[in-house]
Amino acid sequence: MSEQMKPVRVRFAPSPTGHMHLGSGRTALYDYLIARKTGGKFILRIEDTDRKRYVPGAEEELIEGLHWLGLDWDEGPDIGGPYGPYRQSERGEIYREYARKLVGMGHAYFCFCTPDRLERVRQEQQKRKDIIRYDGTCRGLDPDEALKRVANGERHVIRFKAPREGVTTVHDLLRGDITVDNQTIDDFVLLKSDGLAVYHLAAMVDDHLMKITHVIRGSEWLPTFPLHALIYRAFGWQEPVWVHLSVFLKPSGKGKMSKREAAELGKDGYSIFIADLKQSGYIPEAVVNWIALMGWSYDDRTEFFTLSDLIDKFSLERLNPAPAAINFSKLDHFNGLHIRSLAIGDLAQRLRPYFEKGGLKVDPVILEKVTPLVQPRITTLDDAVDIAGFFFLEHVEPRIEELIGKDLSLRESAEIAQKSYKALESVETFNAENTETAMRQLVEELGLTAGQVFGILRVAITGQKVSPPLFESMEIIGKQKTLARIRYAVNLLENSVEKGYF
RNA sequence: GCCCCCAUCGUCUAGCGGCCCAGGACGUGGCCCUCUCAAGGCCAAAACGGGGAUUCGAAUUCCCCUGGGGGCACCA
C-alpha cells in the first residue's frame, strides 16, 4: 500500500467572509476526494478568528454550497466530532495557551509596539526600498521584564521569533523542496493584542491537534509556508504533507477575478459563486466535474467523471501546480453532458422549480413527457423554460410575421394552416407517428417542403420558431389543444389577409 | 522594490530522454443526420515563450532571460 493510500485526515478550513466561490469549492472537493478514497476523514473547520471580517450567513452558505456539491464531512461545527470545537472563535483559550508555550520555549516573544509605530516603520522601509518587515525592537527584550509589563496590563502581541540566519527548507508535494533565506521570514504576529490568534498560529495548532495528515490549501499560502513549517518545528510536531493548489485565473488568463469582473460575468449567467451557479441552472454533477479538472487530470483522454468516479480515480500526485484560467464554455459543455446522463424522472424533478420560477403551472404528467424532448436541447436547467414553457401554457400568442412560411405569402400560409387543421382533425389516434404521416402526405399534395409547412405549424402550436420536435410536441399537447392553437393561428392569418397586411 | 511559485494549441490539459514533425477536451470552421433548435457522428485549423548547457538523442534535465501569477497586516 502506497503512502497515499493510508487513511488521511484532511480539513477544509474556509473563513466565513463572503460568498462561497469556485476556488474554495475545488479545495473542498479535493479534500473530500482524498478522504473518501483513502477511507480517511474529511473535516470542516471554520476559521473565524477575525471578527472584523465576519459576514453573517456566510457559514450557512458555505455548508449549503458543500452539500449542494454533494460533499459531506465527518467532523465539523454542525455535527461535532472528537477534536472540537470546529469553529476557531471557540478555541481562543487553546491558542493563547500554545502561544504562551512558544514564548516559554524561546520561540516567541511579547511585543509592545503600537500599530502606529509599526506603520511608520513600514513606510520608512518602503521609502528606503528596504525589505518590509518587523524591525525587531521587542525581540531582544528581557523575558522577565516583558512578563512584568504584561502582568501590568500593558497592551501587547506575541510574535514568532524567526531565525535570523541560515535557510529553511520546506517540502510541497507538488513542487518538491522550497528553500528560502531565513532573512525573508518575518517575526509574524501570532497572537493579537485582543488575545485572538491569527491564522499562522490558529491553523497550525488546530491542524496538529486535529491530527491533520495532509494540508491542502491555496497557493496564496506559499509565501508564508516556511513560517508555518517553522511553527510546527518549534513545537516539535510532525509536519503534515503540504499541498498547495494553484489559483484560478479569470477567463482571459490574466490575473485573478476582481469583484467588479465577477459581477460583470453575471450578465452572461456565469458566476464564480456556487450559489449563483445553482440559480443559473447548473447542476452539481457538472460543476464538480468541471472544477475537478481545473488543476487535476486522470489521463490523456478521460474527462467525464461522476463524484464516485472521482473518488475512485483521484490522486494528489496528478495535481497540476500551474494556475488555471476559468473556462465557462467548458462548464456549459459539462452541464449538457451531465444533464443528458440524468434519468428522466430525476431531470424532471430538477426542471420543475425552474418552470415554476418562470411563472408556469407545472402539470407533473406533462412534465414527465416533456423532459425527454428537452433533455438534449438544454445546457442549463433554466433553458428549459424558454424552449418548452409553452407546454404549460393555456394559450400561446404567435407573432403574425413568424406564422408566414418560408418563401410563402400571407395568403398561402393561411391556406396551408387551414389545410393542416383539416388533415390533423381527421387523425383518429393523435400520436406523433400518425400526425406526421398525415402531414407529410399533405406536404406532398401541396408540392411544398416539409420545412415550409411544419414551420407554420410550429409557430402556431408553440408560439416559437424554435421548439422540440413538432409531432412529439403535438402529441403531448393533445389533439384538442393542438387544433385550437392552429385554429387561432388560421384566424390570425386570415384577419391579416383581410386587413391587407403585408 | 523585495520574496515565493508557475510556464505545451485561444482555454483546460496528456507528456515524467527516444513511443511526439506532440495526444485528448472545450471553443472555432466545414460536412453528415434533420420539421426548427439541439444532441450525435466525421473532418479541419490551432501549441512545446526565447537563449544557452548536458546527451548519440530534450516538450521532457540544468542555468539565464522573458512572461504570468501569488505574497509582503495585530486579514485569511
Q: What per-residue confidence (pLDDT) applies to A502?
A: 56
A307-317 pLDDT, tens digit per residue, is: 999 999 999 99
A50, with CB counted inside 10 A (0-12, 13-18, 19+), is middle
Residue A282 binned pLDDT confidence (cut-offs 50, 70, 90): very high
Q: List the grid coordinates of A467.
A: 421548439
Nucleotide nearest A222 (Cα, C1') = B4
Instruction: List the domain boundaries for chain A.
Output: 91-244, 259-341, 344-392, 400-499
Sign of CA dihedral A75, A80, A83, A87: positive
Q: From the alpha carbon of A186, which nucleotide's C1' atom is closest?
A: B72
Is A465 considered catalytic here? no
Those nucleotides of strand B lying less than 7 Å from any protein Cβ are 1-8, 10-15, 23-27, 35-40, 68-76
- pLDDT single digits (tens) A433-490: 999 999 999 999 999 999 999 999 999 999 999 999 999 999 999 999 999 999 999 9
Pairing state of beta strands A157-160 and A189-191? antiparallel
Which pLDDT band holds residue A2 (cuts at 50, 70, 90)? very low
What is the CATH topology of the domain spanning A400-499? Arc Repressor Mutant, subunit A (1.10.10)
| Residue A306 buriedness (CB in 10 A; 0-12 / 13-18 / 19+) | middle
For the residues A226-248, what does the mean pLDDT come to? 96
Cell, residue A290: 468541471
Query: What is the arithmetic mean of pLDDT over A398-402?
Result: 94
What percentage of chain A exceeds 90 in pLDDT?
87
Residue type at A145 in one-letter notation: E
Residue A1 has pLDDT above 80, yes or no: no
Per-residue pLDDT band at A127 (split at 50, 70, 90): confident
The protein residue nearest B11 (Cα–C1') is: A327
The CATH number given to A259-341 is 1.10.1160.10
Whether domain A344-392 has CATH 1.10.860: the reply is: no
CA distances from A468 to A247, A378, A465 (A): 41, 11, 10
CA of A372 to C1' of B45 (A): 35
Measured in angstroms, what separates residue A478's CA from nucleotide B45's C1'?
48
CATH level 3 topology of A91-244? Glutamyl-tRNA Synthetase; domain 3 (3.90.800)
Which residue is the nearest neighbor of B23, CA to C1'? Answer: A300
> Is-contact A113 A138, C-beta < 8 A?
yes
Which of these is catalytic: A127, A129, A259, A267? A259
Q: Give the CA A332 to C1' B39 distance in Å.
A: 14
Place A261 in a pLDDT band, splitting at 50, 70 and 90.
confident
pLDDT score at A3: 46
- Enclosing H/E stretch for A172: strand A167-172
Separation of CA A332 and C1' B5 in angstroms? 31
